[in-house]
């Protein structure tokens, strides 16, 4: 489908259509933070923002998610038998998602939906019922390094629609056919619009290229144990607090814990985000811990993203270069320096 044009003053109508049968969410200014929230009106959409402080992954993989419930009564006919939670009722649209975050979902699809057995019901349910409308980055941050990890400020992977902000209007590009009906009535873009978008894309890419990036070209050829035993890890781990900030703000980190909870006659099985920084994550019932030191744990996160995932998932890197961890790490462990050291 050819690119379309959506005037910003027509957005309310467009959003009206988008909201038919869907809940719509977007990054908004929530008490000074850029946070994803239900969208009430087009006026609440942000156009000049870098990205949401936290990744939107919890729309597909909530930090706490009830997986199943049971009646906590042994003498009840259905007692103690786990029953699945209902599926997502109302489909969703996520609008103004940055391309890096959308790319992250495509990476996570490779992990959550591998084959018949490894097919995460909860992830798939929400993924299939969500429409992702992206907003290209025209003004990337100094901490962005998407172009060095196979993504980019105008990248389309994982999105259904990509919007490019052209000032008072948006260039609308259908990436999948999921939104065809929504876009059908929009006017087609003129050549000048396409040219402007191409220029913006080039400028944004140049901006990211000028930032510190990561080099990963040597990693594929290196043995796991060579990287694992590299001298850099104790120094990287030294200042690490082993908190969960980097993993929880990360759009591709996806480790979780499963726990049962009981209150009276009601019980549920819940999954919660968990992270490889925690010593508790791997400790055996016997007390033995395969990743017993801070160095083990810090190394795991970088190895997982930049060696294990690429080796296992056809070269796909487990990082999209959003830069959130760079901005939020309380001790400024900068993924870019770490990976460049791994690659050196």
Partner 1 sequence: MRNTYIPYPVRIKETQVETEDKMLKSFWLEFLNADDAKAFDYTPGQFAELSVSGYGEIPIGIASSPTEGEDLLFTVNKVGHVTNRLHNMRAGDVMGVRGPLGNSYPLEEMKGKNIVIVAGGFAVTTLRSTMNWLLHPDHRGDYGDIDFVYGARTPGMLLYTDEWSQWQKRDDVKVHITVDQEFPGWDGLVGFGVDIVKQIKPQPDNAVALICGPPIMIRFTWPVFEELGWTTEQVILSLENRMKCGIGICGRCNVGGEYVCKDGPVFTKAELDKLPAEY
Partner 2 sequence: MEAIAQGIREAAKKLLSQGAVDCVIGFAQGTVPMRDYPYFAYTPEEADNLTWSRFCCNNLSNFLVRREMGEAGKVAIVAQGCVSRNIVGLIKENQITREQVHIIGVASPGMVDRGKVQALFPLKTITEVTEDGEDLVVKGKDFEERVPTKKVLRQNCYTCVQRNPVIVDEMIGEESEATHGGNIDKVAAPWEKLMPEERWEAFSESIKDCIRCYACRDACPLCYCHVCFVDEARPQWCGKTQDEADVATFHILRAFHCAGRCTDCGACESACPVGIKMRGFTSKIEKDIRELYGYAPGMDLEEEPPLSVYKPNDPQEFIK
Where do contacts with partner 1 occur on this chain (CB under 8 A)? 67-68, 70, 72, 74, 79-84, 111-112, 114, 117-122, 124, 223-225, 228, 254-260, 262, 267, 269, 274, 276, 281-286, 290-291, 296, 300, 303-304, 307-309, 311-312
Instruction: Pinpoint the alpha helices (H) of 4-81.
Output: 11-18
- Number of residues written out for the chain: 344
Pairing of strands 4-7, 130-135: unpaired
Cα separation, 207 vs 107, whole angstroms: 24
Which residue in 24, 42, 49, 113 binds partner 2 (CB under 8 A)? 49
Q: What's the CA angle centered on 120, arms 116 and 126, to 5 degrees?
A: 125
Cα separation, 123 vs 135, whole angstroms: 23
Q: Which residues contact 22 (CB under 8 A, 6 or more apart)?
A: 90, 91, 92, 93, 131
Strand ordering across the sheet containing 64-71? 83-84, 64-71, 266-273, 256-263
Q: Which does 88 bind (CB under 5 to 8 A by kind): partner 1, partner 2, none?
A: none
Q: Is 170 exposed, middle or buried, given 0-12, 13-18 or 19+ CB atoms closer than 10 A?
A: buried
Question: Closest approach of Cβ 123 to partner 2, in Å?
Answer: 18
- The piece of 59-67, 71-79, 176-184, 307-315 that touches partner 2 (CB under 8 A) is 59-67
Q: Which does 334 bind (CB under 5 to 8 A by kind): partner 2, partner 1, none?
A: partner 2
Complex with partner 1: residue 2 or 225, whichever CB lies closer:
225
User: Is 336 among the residues that bind partner 2 (CB under 8 A)?
Assistant: yes
Which residue in 53, 109, 125, 341 binds partner 2 (CB under 8 A)? 53
String of contacts with partner 2 for each residue 221-250, x by CB under 8 A: -------------xx-xxx-xxxxx-xxx-
CB-based contact 283:259 (threshold 8 Å): no
Q: Which does 241 bind (CB under 5 to 8 A by kind): partner 1, partner 2, none?
A: partner 2
Q: Which does 327 bind (CB under 5 to 8 A by kind): partner 1, partner 2, none?
A: partner 2
Q: Which does 90 bind (CB under 5 to 8 A by kind): partner 2, partner 1, none?
A: none
Cα separation, 302 vs 22, whole angstroms: 37
Complex with partner 1: residue 83 or 239, whichever CB lies closer:
83
> What one-character DSSP code corresponds to residue 279?
G
User: Is 46 among the residues that bind partner 2 (CB under 8 A)?
Assistant: yes
Q: Which does 238 bind (CB under 5 to 8 A by kind): partner 1, partner 2, none?
A: partner 2
Nearest to 140 by CA among 265, 313, 322: 322
CB-based contact 150:133 (threshold 8 Å): no
Question: Closest approach of Cβ 78 to partner 1, in Å?
Answer: 9
Which residue in 12, 87, 188, 261 binds partner 2 (CB under 8 A)? 261
Question: Closest approach of Cβ 239 to partner 2, in Å?
Answer: 4
Nearest to 324 by CA among 143, 81, 139, 117: 143
Residues 137-196 touching partner 2, rule: CB under 8 A, are 139, 141-143
Cβ atoms within 10 Å, residue 195:
11
Site of interaction with partner 2 (CB under 8 A)? 29, 32-34, 46, 48-50, 53-54, 62-64, 139, 141-143, 212, 234-235, 237-239, 241-245, 247-249, 257, 259, 261, 270, 272, 275, 278-280, 293-295, 326-328, 330-334, 336-337
């Amino acid at each position: 489908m050819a690119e379309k044009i959506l005037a910003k003053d027509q957005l309310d109508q467009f959003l009206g259509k988008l909201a038919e049968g869907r809940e719509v969410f977007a990054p908004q200014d929530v008490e000074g933070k850029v946070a994803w929230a239900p969208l009430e009106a087009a006026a609440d959409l942000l156009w000049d923002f870098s990205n949401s402080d936290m990744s939107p992954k919890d729309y597909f993989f909530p930090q706490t998610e009830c997986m199943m419930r049971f009646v906590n009564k042994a003498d009840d006919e259905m007692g103690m038998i786990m029953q699945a939670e209902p599926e997502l009722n109302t489909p969703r649209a996520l609008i103004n998602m940055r391309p890096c975050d959308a790319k992250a979902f495509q990476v996570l699809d490779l992990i959550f939906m591998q084959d018949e057995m490894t097919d995460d019901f909860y992830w798939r349910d929400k993924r299939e019922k969500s429409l992702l409308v992206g907003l290209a980055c025209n003004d990337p941050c100094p901490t962005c390094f998407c172009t060095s990890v196979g993504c980019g400020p105008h990248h389309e992977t994982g999105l259904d629609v990509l919007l490019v902000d052209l000032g008072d209007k948006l260039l609308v590009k259908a990436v999948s056919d999921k939104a065809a009906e929504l876009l059908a009535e929009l006017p087609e873009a003129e050549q000048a619009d396409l040219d402007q978008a191409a220029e913006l894309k080039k400028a944004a890419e140049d901006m990211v290229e000028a930032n510190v990036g990561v080099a990963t070209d040597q990693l594929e050829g290196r043995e796991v144990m060579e990287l694992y035993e590299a001298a850099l890890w104790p120094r990287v781990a030294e200042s690490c607090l082993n908190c969960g900030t980097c993993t929880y703000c990360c759009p591709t980190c996806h480790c979780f814990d499963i726990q049962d909870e009981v209150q009276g006659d009601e019980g549920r099985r819940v999954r919660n985000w968990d992270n490889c920084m925690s010593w508790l994550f791997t400790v055996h019932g016997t007390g033995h811990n395969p990743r017993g030191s801070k160095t083990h744990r810090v190394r795991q996160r970088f190895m997982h993203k930049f060696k294990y995932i690429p080796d296992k998932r056809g070269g796909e890197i487990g990082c999209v270069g959003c830069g959130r961890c760079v901005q939020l790490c309380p001790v400024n462990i900068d993924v870019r320096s770490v990976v460049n050291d791994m690659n050196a």
